[in-house]
Amino acid sequence: MNSILFHVVLLAYLLATLGFWCYFGVRQAALFRAAHGLVYVGLMFQTALLAQRLWTPTVWSNVSASLALLAWAIGIGYVVAWWRYRMEALGSFMIPLAFFAMALSSVPVEAVLPLPSSLQRLLLVVHIVLAVLGYAALALTFCAGVMYLIQERQLKSKQPGMWSNRLPSLWVLDEMNAKALALGLPLLTQGVITGSVWAKAMRGSYLSWSMTSLPLLLALALYVLLLGGRYTLGWQGKKAAFAAVTGFLLVLASYVVHTSA
């Protein structure tokens, strides 16, 4: 049953991604409605899948399960952003992230973290949920940043192409970037803190100062600098978009290094 649900979700996200990309090119309303509807289908079946997996004792200590949860959170983030901004181009950038996260969750990972006590299990659950929600919000800053950089380049060119007509205004993209950052950074920070407390309970140290932690620490420092710069120095526009993109790439690097370590 789990395998069937997984493949239904994966197919829904894949078809939604292709639908959004096709709509981006030809602007047929039916394509957008179909792709948008497929996101809801994928989220519905993935919610059922996650509900089933919650009863698995080791689900919260499994990297694959956290990737599936990330795909779900990104899908929810897309829906929330759609209802707030009605940004048709967003699906072309955000839903592919959900698809790839879901696809990667099918890759077998041998390492499963031990869960010797209920308290340590609770800490791990809180850590994963906060971190994943933070990742999803920061994925939105990444998408907004990429769209901003593309749109800004198009508007500065002498002959703006198709992208300029498809993407939202720079002001809307910058606003989305700022609001998603203000949500995602506190969530990720709290996720890191609870993870450190869990690490202390499990290994006797709050933080491992190894290469596996370096990309995440750099990303947090960059996000803190960006958020502070926005509110104190008036940072916005291209500088903020570039920082948001760089920060999320560091987050992805941290995830890859951590799971392959």
Distance, in Å, from the CA atom of 97 to the CA atom of 110, rounded to the nearest integer, reads 24
Comparing 40-44, 81-85, 181-185, 192-196, the range with the smallest average pLDDT is 192-196
d(CA 191, CA 183): 13
How much of the chain exceeds pLDDT 90, in percent?
Answer: 49
> Is residue 121 within 8 Å of residue 60, measured between CB atoms?
yes
For 21-67, how does the pLDDT look when each residue is reduced to its tens digit (9 = 90+)? Answer: 999 888 889 999 999 999 999 999 999 988 877 666 555 556 777 88
**Averaged pLDDT, 78-106:** 93
So what's the pLDDT on residue 261?
A: 54
Residue 112 has phi, psi (to 5 degrees) of -125, 125
Distance of CA 88 to the CA centre of its chain: 18
**pLDDT score for 194:** 85
Phi-psi region of 27 (alpha: psi -120 to 50; beta: other; left: phi over 0): left
> Which residues lie below 8 Å from residue 133, measured CB to CB, with a gap of 6+?
73, 184, 187, 191
Q: Which pLDDT band holds residue 137 (cuts at 50, 70, 90)?
A: very high
Query: Which among 184, 16, 14 is positioned nearest to 88, based on CA atoms?
Result: 16
Most confident of 21-25, 111-115, 207-211, 254-258: 21-25
pTM of the model: 0.88
Residue length of the chain: 261
The reported pLDDT for the residue numbered 4 is 87
Phi, psi of 24 (to 5 degrees): -60, -30
Amino acid at position 137, single letter: A
Higher pLDDT, 99 or 218: 99
Alpha-carbon distance of 71 to 76, in angstroms, equals: 9
Region 177-185: mean pLDDT is: 94
Question: Euclidean distance between the first and final Cα of the chain, in Å?
Answer: 31
Of 4-18, 181-195, 211-225, the range with the highest mean pLDDT is 4-18
